[in-house]
Structure 1
Amino acid sequence: MDNALPKQAILVVNAMSRRGADVFEDARDKLVAAGVDLLEAHAVTEPEKMDGTIKDAIAKAPMVIVGGGDGSLSTNVDFFVGKDTVFAVLPLGTANSFARTLTIGTDLDAAIDVIANGRRKRIDLGVIDGDYFANAAALGLSPMIADTVPHKLKRYLGMVGYLIWAVRCAFKFRPFRLRVTTEDGAVHKVWATEARIANGRYHGGVELVEDQRIDSGDIVIQAVTGKSLLGLAWSWFATLFKLSGRERTTTEWRGRKLLLEARPRQKISIDGEIAAKTPVTVEVARGAIEVAAPRD
């Protein structure tokens, strides 16, 4: 079939991700058992060597399997742009939002089944000032948490650790004035406690931007409007449990290119890693890479 995945691949796992070191050997053995011909397999224990290992793998193999959290995946997605190499995902992080967006889920065996029996799918990437990202970026309380959460708390407690740290950060957080300029030149100003820049539907492991598709050809900015942190908490709660009226807690703008500004200036976390600061130009790179996706 034209959209069949390659059988040869190289496995690169970020051993510093939440489950990376623990499941590397198991994942390698299960991939081979599922019929994937692994040309090489690397467990990278020094984060600064991840980029070079993946670039080298892209030059050698028709498919590169990257194991790690959302930060690891998004940081390295740039290298696949303009290449024929398929990007395959092993979700080994805390939230695994990108894997959820791809409908792979968070189960290791399910992800391996997709890599062995799935299909090639061309998807969009988000772009912030020329930097590609896979799933979602955020400004507001989320970057404050991402920038300060202790690694051990995140590694050993996962989402619970994030929630504990979120309560601590909330006492220091202040709302901000958000300004969005759309493609037609229209300027929109709102008070916000959080804003998401969404290429995919999930952020922090929660489906927050329900009407976004990873091949829509658009990028979405979604703001939780108002000045109240209780309002932000309610918005998350209502969205998590799919309560009616949850869409009234947010405002969205959609397009191929948007200008995003904030006062005071805000740090931006890109798939969980602090990587930019407002003001920024937000764009979509349509059909930028091919990924391993489920057949259904």
Structure 2
Amino acid sequence: MTTTASLIFNPNAGQNDPVEDLVTIREVFESKINLNIHPSHKGVSTAELTHQAIKQGTDMILIAGGDGTVSSAAEALIGTDIPIGIIPRGTVNAFAKALNISTNIKAACEAILLGRPHRVDAATCNGKPMIVLAGIGLEPETIAHSSRRIKKQFGMLSFVLAGIKELGELKTFEASIETENETMNLQAVAVTIANTAAPTSLLAHGPAHVIPDDGLLDVTIFAPSNRKNAFFGAYHLLRSGFTNDATHRDDIQYFKAKNVKVETKPLQKVSLDGDPIEANSVEINCIPHSLNVLLPALDNFTFN
């Protein structure tokens, strides 16, 4: 019996030509599985398309888009056994990179056909699905200064340039952070709560490694006292992301928790999986092993 897969396709994601990407996807899959294509558009959300595909009895959900597309689709997939194939075609693709999924369209599709299902964590942030991270302070400020037009033109470089500008301004705030184990009050420039994190998710990399299937959130608090320390600290965070060596600086704290609540004074901008959200406070709860993702078939595979 031939497998039926529903492709949730976001034509507006990333910098690639959507027509060319769709042709590539169809070339890989259509001789192997029954492929039903569901393009996202303004009239219906990605979550609604995914719910519809599940009701129609699809065997597999394929998601072609960026982190925002995958996060929206996850609303319908958290807690189910439906295999999920990720085809990265966004600007950042942090979720795919954190799971060692190729950002080459053809390679990602071929890996899905040969892949093995692996259960990874998801989370909710103020009741919304979260697959990558929530950022408070520096990250959403950086995203706010990277318009869709600039992201389309310059890709990841747009975030780098905006981030450098925001580091130079060094805006601090008071944060009250509550977990299942403790409550702390501190000053920060950025607070990042990560479920997963790509090497380029700079502000999430206080710890040596953000593990996608450990049932815990990784919290990194960045609190440089001046511009010089801000740039040195950012360098250490970036290095940690690529080397998996934990940072060792007094102005970078990190810990793990199942549940995290953050309140700030003054109110700060908040980003969720790369998109801005309105929030007076942030409450994040990890949902262990709740997404069934098809990952590259490697012997002795582990995230540790």
Give 1:79 deviation, angstroms: 0.9
Between the aligned partners of 2:150 and 2:232, the Cα distance in structure 1 is 25
Give 1:247 deviation, angstroms: 3.4
- CA contact 1:140–1:194 (8 Å) conserved in 2: yes
Which region of structure 1 is more displaced relative to structure 2, 158-167 or 72-81? 158-167
Equivalent in 283, 286, 302 of residue 284 of structure 1: 286
- What letter corresponds to residue 195 of structure 2 in structure 1? N
- CA contact 1:260–1:278 (8 Å) conserved in 2: no
1:218-272, Cα deviation, whole Å (9 max, x unpaired): 1121111234344333233223234877332421131112221221122221110
- Partner of 2:76 in structure 1? 79
- Partner of 1:149 in structure 2? 146
Q: Secondary structure at 1:114's aligned position in 2?
A: helix
Give 1:65 deviation, angstroms: 0.5
Matched, 1:241 2:243: no
Give 1:45 deviation, angstroms: 4.4
CA 1:225–1:108 in 2, change beyond 3 Å: closer, same or farther? same
CA 1:245–1:273 in 2, change beyond 3 Å: closer, same or farther? closer
Give 1:155 deviation, angstroms: 0.9
CA 1:205–1:171 in 2, change beyond 3 Å: closer, same or farther? closer
- CA contact 1:44–1:50 (8 Å) conserved in 2: yes
Give 1:150 deviation, angstroms: 1.6
Matched, 1:254 2:242: no
Q: Secondary structure at 2:248's aligned position in 1?
A: helix
Between the aligned partners of 1:217 and 1:51, the Cα distance in structure 2 is 24
Q: Secondary structure at 2:297's aligned position in 1?
A: coil
TM-score w.r.t. length of structure 1? 0.87
- Partner of 1:194 in structure 2? 190
- CA contact 2:172–2:188 (8 Å) conserved in 1: yes
* Identical positions, percent: 21
Between the aligned partners of 1:39 and 1:94, the Cα distance in structure 2 is 25
Give 1:93 deviation, angstroms: 1.0
Which region of structure 1 is more displaced relative to structure 2, 150-159 or 220-229? 220-229
- Partner of 1:3 in structure 2? none
CA 1:27–1:110 in 2, change beyond 3 Å: closer, same or farther? same
What are the ranges of 5 or more consecutive residues in structure 2 without an aligned counterpart? 299-304
- Partner of 2:211 in structure 1? 213
- What letter corresponds to residue 174 of structure 2 in structure 1? R
CA 1:90–1:112 in 2, change beyond 3 Å: closer, same or farther? same
CA 1:20–1:55 in 2, change beyond 3 Å: closer, same or farther? farther
- Partner of 1:271 in structure 2? 273
What is the correspondence of 1:1-296 to structure 2 with a 5 Å cutoff?
7-18=3-14, 19=16, 21=18, 22-32=20-30, 35=32, 37-46=33-42, 48-60=44-56, 61-170=58-167, 174-184=171-181, 186-202=182-198, 204-206=200-202, 208=205, 209-242=207-240, 246-248=247-249, 249-296=251-298
- CA contact 2:167–2:230 (8 Å) conserved in 1: no
Q: Secondary structure at 1:241's aligned position in 2?
A: helix
1:153-180, Cα deviation, whole Å (9 max, x unpaired): 1012101122233344456661112221
